[in-house]
Amino acid sequence: MKTVFIDCSPKKRLSASGFIAGFTAAFVAGKKKKEKLRTKADYGRVLEAVKDADSVVFSMPLYVDGVPSHVLPFLREMELYCKESNPALNVYVIANNGFIEGRQNEPLMQVMENFCARSGISWRGGLGIGGGVMMNVMRIMLTVFFGLAILNTILAVVREGSFQAGPLLGFGKQALEVLFFGCGIVAFDLWLAFCINRQKPFGKRYTRVMLPSFVFILFADIFFVIASFFQGGMFRGWLAKKKPAD
């Protein structure tokens, strides 16, 4: 069994789509290939990888209620290939969006389902994840915290000549907190991986970061205030009704 995971985010590094694709892949058995689909230059390579696959997992961000524009011409190329060669392909989709409601991925899921219908390949369902940016921030922070905990543990050994459990225990607590907010994502994703392993339908499911939306909105606002402060947008007519040049 071969499964191809396609990270459809245009970001070079640290995309939420790439993370969740990798996380899912960790629980899928058999031959696995992870591909990035960022520009037209990737189309040929990704299509080659799809050709001898049993299942394809598209992992993508939601852009303006739909599939990001750079992915669409690839879908058309894949459709043409599928019509010509009739491969027995299972298609799964993982979509993540910035807003908290995972359900906002529904139009994207339908577009992907329609793509499968036109291509004559098997739509096996999709998982829509709300709060994708926050999920991504949490997993990046968790990696940083882990690094710090290891560093502090080593420093303690060097300085005091004894092992201290404090930093690692602290990290354990942080990991549990992240797991709490991410429990829906982890649970649904494991279920998806289970279905991919058996090449079974998953259906269309939606989950989110486990926070009430008003708290999430507060965090999102703080996030963009900080980003806009450091990148300077806040001082360049941040919320102004900017006029076009002509």
Partner 1 sequence: MRILIHDRNEEFGQALKEKYDRIIRADGKYAPCQGCFHCWTKHPAACGMKDSLHEICRVIGQADDLVIVTENWYGGYSPAVKNILDRSIGTSTPMSTYRAGEMHHTLRYGRHSSWSVLVYGETAENEKKTWKLLAEKNAINDGFRSSEVSFIPDTEELEARAQ
Ligand X SMILES: Cc1cc2nc3c(=O)[nH]c(=O)nc-3n(C[C@H](O)[C@H](O)[C@H](O)COP(=O)(O)O)c2cc1C
* Footprint on residues 70-129 left by ligand X (CB under 6 A): 96-99, 104
The answer to the question of residue 115 lying near partner 1 (CB under 8 A) is yes
Sheet holding 122-130, edge to edge: 31-36, 2-7, 55-61, 90-97, 122-130, 203-208
The least CB distance from residue 109 to partner 1, in Å, is 9
106 contact, one of partner 1, ligand X, none, CB 5-8 Å limit per kind: partner 1
Restricted to residues 53-112, the positions that interact with partner 1 (CB under 8 A) are 61, 63-70, 72-73, 75-76, 99-101, 104, 106-107, 110-112
Cβ neighbour number for residue 10 with a 10 Å cutoff: 18
Q: Which residue has the tokens 């992907």?
A: 112
How many residues can be counted in the chain? 246
- Closest distance between ligand X and the C-beta of residue 47, in Å? 21
Burial of 89 (0-12, 13-18, 19+ CB in 10 A): buried
**Among residues 20 and 121, whose Cβ is nearest to ligand X?**
20
Is 177 a binding residue for partner 1 by CB under 8 A? The answer is no
Binding status of residue 244 toward partner 1 by CB under 8 A = yes
Pattern 125-154, partner 1, x by CB under 8 A: ------------------------------
Q: Which does 143 bind (CB under 5 to 8 A by kind): partner 1, ligand X, none?
A: none
Question: Shortest approach of ligand X to residue 229 CB, angstroms?
Answer: 19
Q: How far apart are CA 75 and CA 82, in angstroms?
A: 10
Site for ligand X in 131-160 (CB under 6 A): 132-133, 136
Applying CB under 6 A, which of residues 11, 38, 70, 139 lies at the interface with ligand X?
Answer: 11
Site residues for ligand X per CB under 6 A: 9, 11, 15-17, 61-65, 96-99, 104, 132-133, 136
Binding site for partner 1 (CB under 8 A): 9-11, 15, 39, 61, 63-70, 72-73, 75-76, 99-101, 104, 106-107, 110-115, 117-118, 213, 216-217, 220-221, 224, 227-228, 231-233, 236-245
